[in-house]
């Protein structure tokens, strides 16, 4: 019973830390996604105008 | 299932993108009528030069602003029905291209346009293209076909 309140903030802190840890990965993967979309749209426009 | 928030966003992003791409391709194919080159018709490559339509290659008008272009490729020459290898097409014309080879595999690329086919012995490759932009385009072989491969070319002029 006495252990519960101690554990809670511990896990919360861990979650925040994890989120920060993945922020860079998320941004990198989104940039990759935008690059894929931009190249796809570029090729598509090239096909339409030629 | 416990999944990270960022992972969920990324999966949604990927799924939505996939469906957008498929929709665009679907509209392009079924509404706009865009399709890849076809090679459904067969021909005996040894007799191709003697059989119609390849016994008389060249450009023929078949309708209002509609043309048929027949090309017979062989090492190392595109027979477009003109001794100089020059074809003139009016701007905006729809051209149905039929091409085949009488010997080995050749390429059929009209650089700067969407016309890009592979010519295989025994098959007639077809593609329909509307020439929207005026200019001089080079028809070239993009499949290595032998020692004279680099000399294999013809010219297509799209004129106003």
Model pLDDT for residues B17-74, shown as the tens digit of each residue: 999 999 998 998 999 888 888 878 899 999 888 888 899 999 999 999 999 999 999 9
- Region A26-38 average pLDDT: 93
pLDDT tens figures, B61-115: 999 999 999 999 999 999 999 999 999 999 999 999 999 999 999 999 999 999 9
Q: To 10 degrees, the CA torsion angle through B142, B140, B60, B120?
A: -20
Would you state the pLDDT for residue A15? Answer: 65
Beta carbons of B5 and A19 less than 8 Å apart: yes
Give yes or no for A19 touching B (CB within 8 A). Answer: yes
Residues A36, B17: C-beta atoms closer than 8 Å: yes
pTM metric for this prediction? 0.79
Looking at every residue in chain A, the average pLDDT score rounds to: 79
Contacts of A22 in chain B (CB under 8 A): 4, 6
Closest CB to A33 among B17, B113, B114: B17
Question: How high is the pLDDT of residue B35?
Answer: 83
pLDDT band at A21 (very low <50, low <70, confident <90, very high): confident
């Amino acid at each position: 019973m006495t252990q519960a309140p101690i554990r809670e903030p511990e896990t919360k802190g861990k979650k925040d830390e994890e989120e920060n840890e993945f922020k860079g990965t998320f941004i990198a993967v989104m940039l990759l996604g935008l690059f894929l979309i931009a190249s796809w749209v570029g090729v598509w426009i090239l096909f339409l105008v030629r | 299932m416990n999944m990270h928030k960022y992972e969920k966003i990324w999966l949604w992003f990927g799924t939505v993108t996939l469906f957008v791409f498929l929709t665009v391709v679907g509209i392009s194919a079924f509404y706009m009528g865009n399709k890849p080159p076809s090679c459904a018709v067969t021909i005996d490559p040894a007799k191709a030069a003697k059989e119609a339509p390849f016994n008389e290659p060249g450009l023929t008008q078949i309708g209002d602003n509609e043309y048929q272009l027949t090309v017979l490729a062989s090492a190392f020459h595109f027979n477009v029905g003109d001794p100089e290898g020059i074809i003139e097409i009016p701007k905006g014309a729809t051209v149905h291209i039929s091409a085949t080879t009488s010997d080995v595999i050749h390429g059929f690329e009209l650089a700067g346009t969407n016309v890009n086919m592979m010519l295989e012995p025994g098959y007639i490759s077809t593609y329909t293209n509307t020439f929207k932009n005026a200019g001089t385009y080079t028809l070239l072989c993009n499949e290595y076909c032998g020692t004279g491969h680099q000399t294999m070319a013809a010219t297509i002029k799209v004129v106003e």
